A and B are shown apart, each in its own frame.
Chain A
């Protein structure tokens, strides 16, 4: 067992390729006949038998030309991969159960295009196809289905091609150091009640309504929900986007607390419930904070905040 593993490691260089761009060399490209290749071989044997039996000189020539074509096709399948440059990109976080996409950029410095390059991250994953133009670039996203929260490493990925003749498949294993953050799957459940955290000197508005106090320019962390679209649209949209400021009112803050989830449930389910709260709170434009055992994120809102919360949940208790 250990021997086979060692052999595989040696043969297929079962180790990380790091995060730098890599160029495929002959040492890591493998070629084997496909099913069509075997069919072709059987057809050639049948044709050769016919040519011998009927003593067809040109039949011999045809069979030999086809045999040569098969051999040349093998080299060309190999050549389709050889020298290809693969640069790993950055993947966007996804929710567990969705497809994680690992972007790779292929580039070729050859004067002929490379067609029908297929990438597959594991046998149970779908294959995606791309082509690189002559001296061109191609971006491809390798899909991997996710099931658990946390960091997902790109599994060992098979880059293969049967172009041009489909009789041989040339392949190479890629293992660039890439990982994708998988958020927990949000479980929809009613939000916990609002907790007002009045600060000293603040007055609580009648119905929890807050008073509009003015504008400030938008910062990337602000939710699009708070943008004052009408105000921003004045003067022909020349101004930067503005955000409404609400004064006075106690920030109505949601504390998404671990302790609010029923402790009869498993850890993962509780994480998923909290993730559902985060999504719902962000949806409502509320200001929310996260409190996990050993980790606390102060209340805020916006995409960056949501990401921080979901990341903390994804990696909990890490």
Chain B
């Protein structure tokens, strides 16, 4: 393969291409399989070495072999060549390979285009502010590479980078306008590959001792809510997740139930709020108890859990209302009540015996509930994130032996006791509490706020919430987990920060992140419609939007073109100094006509102002030397001469 000399890649451009390739592939090393990163690194090093030694690039066959090896590896690792992760892996390998065949300028262009494409793939993994900033820098570098490629070696690396920065800066207004006005389509356009979303934490659809305690160790944000009015008190904030009705003695599970709409009797006015859920790969929302009206695309299960039609695999916003004081299903179906009395036989016999003994003493279910809560609030029980391990009869072990547990232990034991005593009861999981960020007023709920409580059905009152954890540790409900835990518990650093300025800093950072999530990442077709109608474009369809977009972009292009056409009047630095000198002379009543040359001025002064002649002569000579002489840089002499003028 021979390359025309005009198209051949010049040697000095290669380091730029390596830098661009490295900047665009390096962040992928974090989540790629290590063999792939190693292969990429070896290819990079090989290419760099060949360049350094100025040796021949490998021929077609070694490269074909390498491609085959890499494809085989990707196929083995991901079981496919397509899809998100495999596709990214292939792109990274191609980028590294392309560095081994940098012969012509066209090869270099391919590297740059591949680099731009790779920039996009980073957003599969993170769209945070730091990622955005890093990619902006990487994009400047890739653009500088392109500039260097076409500009040749004539300009310095710094000038090239600065020029690329200028181009990017001029492109930013276009980006903003396109971002706001380009008609948005809500994706996906086709079925996403299996691996499109993976590895998120959150509540699960079952509860065994230790599940929620593990979740509580994470300071990650589960969702944020913004209330139209000041948020309700913290101990009212019960965010309902899945309701667990099936118990096998150890683990609580969801019961698949017929979709019969729940009946809610509102005893207080509804309060409106908007919640932004982080993706958790489940269909349930975490609505504040009890959910009032729901948007069209959401449904309310019989257990009062609000669910979406599809799993929530990306950050989503919902407008909801909540009724804090309510009566829920006072006339519940018998089948439901019956299944909420079921306990596995032959497990936890001591707890069962205790509850049955209570049943003999008390008749009203309210009194039974009170009895159990009194048991917990009494001596012996403590609230901890590090409960001892439990044996085959976990409820018995907890109630009578260890007596140390987290919310799941208390709710599980409480519900088991209630069922044994003949009161229909079930476990509700979700989040409790939340913290108001003073910077933006959002209530932030973290994984560490995960909670489990109980619900008992009382005749005439329906399902009533009972939180046995509150009996053990009232602080948990009133002030959150950080305050409730004794010192030394392994809580995440973020939520136990107690020093003031750190807390403020954290609030600030989270508020910025939230704004980013809400207004940048959450800018969807609906937000766009809202934004456009606020601009006065009521009922915007894609045609008006395209028209507005075209007009605004055209105007901006015109502005940039105007900038390009504008020619700054340029004055030679020597001439500028001479003008300075003339201004100083004018103060001494010496005026130089525009047509008068410096030497003519001196000659005239010899008659009119002989006292000024030596100084002016010095300036004139220095000016002529600086402006027309063959010695470079005589400006300092001129500047000094001008300064010496009287």
Contact = CB atoms under 8 A, between A and B. Distances in A.
Contact of A75 (B113, B119, B189, B564): B564
Contact of B109 (A52, A83, A166): A166
A: contact size bracket:
35 or more
Contacts of B509: none
A82 interface: yes
B124 A56 contact: yes
B167 A116 contact: no
A185 B278 CA distance: 82
B146 A164 contact: yes
Contacts, number: 165
A142 to B, nearest CB: 15
Interface stretch (B172-180, B252-260, B364-372, B428-436): B172-180
Contact of B151 (A60, A110, A164): A164
A129 B10 CA distance: 14
Interface string A35-78: 01001100100110111111111111111111111011101101
Interface residues of B, number: 60
Contact of A127 (B6, B135, B154): B6
A43 B91 CA distance: 13
A156 interface: no
Nearest to B109: A36
Interface in B164-199: 167-168, 170-175, 178-179, 182, 184-190, 192, 196
Interface stretch (B36-44, B355-363, B535-543, B565-573): B565-573
Interface string B89-124: 000000000000000001001000100110110011
A50 B120 contact: yes
B152 interface: yes
Max chain B Cβ within 10 angstroms of own Cβ: one of A52, A72, A127? A72
A58 B123 contact: yes
Main secondary structure on B side of the interface with A: helix
B276 interface: no
Contact of B154 (A43, A61, A109, A113): A113
A55 B188 contact: yes
B188 A62 contact: no
Contacts of A54: 84, 123-124, 187-188, 192, 196
B154 A56 contact: no
B167 A53 contact: no
A39 B155 contact: no
B146 A166 contact: yes
A92 interface: no
B560 interface: yes
A73 to B, nearest CB: 7
B208 to A, nearest CB: 34
A69 B154 CA distance: 22
Interface in A80-139: 82-83, 109-111, 113, 115-116, 126-127, 129, 131, 135
A165 B171 CA distance: 13
B151 A72 contact: no
B188 A164 contact: no
B174 A164 contact: no
A159 to B, nearest CB: 16
A279 B175 CA distance: 67
B490 interface: no
30 contacts: A26-B565, A36-B113, A39-B109, A47-B120, A51-B120, A53-B189, A53-B192, A54-B192, A54-B196, A55-B187, A56-B120, A57-B127, A58-B127, A58-B135, A58-B520, A61-B179, A61-B520, A65-B139, A68-B171, A71-B557, A75-B561, A110-B567, A111-B570, A115-B150, A115-B152, A115-B155, A116-B150, A129-B152, A165-B146, A166-B150
Interface of A: 26, 36, 39-40, 43, 46-47, 49-69, 71-73, 75-76, 78-79, 82-83, 109-111, 113, 115-116, 126-127, 129, 131, 135, 162-166
Given A165-B150, A166-B109, 19 more contacts: A43-B116, A54-B187, A55-B187, A55-B314, A56-B123, A57-B127, A60-B182, A61-B179, A62-B123, A63-B120, A65-B175, A66-B139, A69-B143, A71-B174, A71-B557, A83-B567, A129-B6, A163-B151, A166-B150
